[in-house]
Amino acid sequence: MGKVHEKIDDRLRAFIEAQPVFFVATAPSGPDGHVNVSPKGIGGTFVILDEHRVAYLDITASGSETIAHLRDNGRITIMFCAFQGPPNIVRLHGHGRFVTLYDEGFDELSALFPPTAGARAVILVDVERVSDSCGYGVPLMTVEGERDLLPPYMERKGVEGRADYRRLKNRTSIDGLPAFDMDPSPAEPTDVSAH
Ligand SMILES: Cc1cc2nc3c(=O)[nH]c(=O)nc-3n(C[C@H](O)[C@H](O)[C@H](O)COP(=O)(O)O)c2cc1C
């Protein structure tokens, strides 16, 4: 049944790396505001850096709740569910930070993942609690494949198109907290070639 682990050991690593989808939960500080949970898991966009550190590629999309909440308080939980094989749920609780495509170090960090059009940041998480639980209620499901829609959609927009999209959709969270507001104003050239 449920157990707290000291670290992401080899068995947990194998389970986590085999999952095609995971969920990221964050929340703004205080009693109000909207708690967020986002599905993630586009192929190759999650890595275990060591026994207490993980990272994933954050792709330009219609919202930017996770970055807003990391800016606010850093708290983050990542959940993996076994939809195939032995039942299991693994939760990684911790604190996260992010390195955007405009920050020093982004190229080295993003090289940990396959090239993915539209990457706007790498989310880095210091994992403070590693736990699993039975997963008996999680249904068995078969993966038919990725939809392969988000990265191609972002690729078609091009560098400036993605920056415009983020200026429109990603500057604040749904509660109005600052989110991905790092794109330079449209008059300034966007100093990135690939992202
Ligand atoms: C099944 C599924 C998988 C997804 N995988 C990713 C992913 O790997 N990386 C990503 O940044 N967004 C992914 N998205 C989009 C996110 O769920 C989310 O809309 C977007 O990243 C904004 O996240 P945020 O508001 O939590 O910052 C996926 C969406 C779905 C439905």
For the segment 104-141, what is each residue's pLDDT rounded down to a tens digit?
Answer: 999 999 999 999 989 999 999 999 999 999 999 999 99
Q: What is the CATH number of domain 3-138+146-169?
A: 2.30.110.10
Categorize the per-residue pLDDT at 25 as very low, low, confident or very high, splitting at 50, 70 and 90: very high
Mean pLDDT of 147-171: 93
For ligand 1, the distance from its centroid to the CA atom of residue 164, given in whole angstroms, is: 19
Instruction: End-to-end CA distance of the chain: give it in Å, rounded.
Output: 43
- What are the domain boundaries of the chain? 3-138+146-169
For ligand 1, the distance from its centroid to the CA atom of residue 39, given in whole angstroms, is: 5
For ligand 1, the distance from its centroid to the CA atom of residue 116, given in whole angstroms, is: 13
Sequence-ordered alpha helix ranges (H) in 5-149: 10-17, 65-72, 106-110
- For ligand 1, is residue 179 a contact (CB within 6 Å)? no
Q: What pLDDT is recorded for position 162?
A: 96
- For ligand 1, is residue 109 a contact (CB within 6 Å)? no
The best mutation among 42, 122, 182 to test binding of ligand 1, ranked by most ligand atoms within 8 Å of the C-beta, falls on 42
- For ligand 1, is residue 33 a contact (CB within 6 Å)? no
For ligand 1, the distance from its centroid to the CA atom of residue 68, given in whole angstroms, is: 14
> Per-residue pLDDT for 194 more than 80?
no
- For ligand 1, is residue 177 a contact (CB within 6 Å)? no
> Per-residue pLDDT for 191 more than 80?
no
Amino acid at the residue 32? D
Sequence-ordered alpha helix ranges (H) in the chain: 10-17, 65-72, 106-110, 150-169
Beta strands in the chain (DSSP E): 3-5, 22-26, 36-40, 46-50, 53-59, 75-81, 89-100, 119-133
Instruction: Give every CB contact of residue 4 below 8 A, 6+ residues apart in sequence.
Output: 129, 130, 131
pLDDT in tens, 88-109: 999 999 999 999 999 999 999 9
Categorize the per-residue pLDDT at 148 as very low, low, confident or very high, splitting at 50, 70 and 90: confident
Q: What pLDDT is recorded for position 151?
A: 87
d(CA 133, CA 4): 9
pLDDT in tens, 39-76: 999 999 999 999 999 999 999 999 999 999 999 999 99
The best mutation among 40, 54, 174 to test binding of ligand 1, ranked by most ligand atoms within 8 Å of the C-beta, falls on 40
> Per-residue pLDDT for 189 more than 70?
no
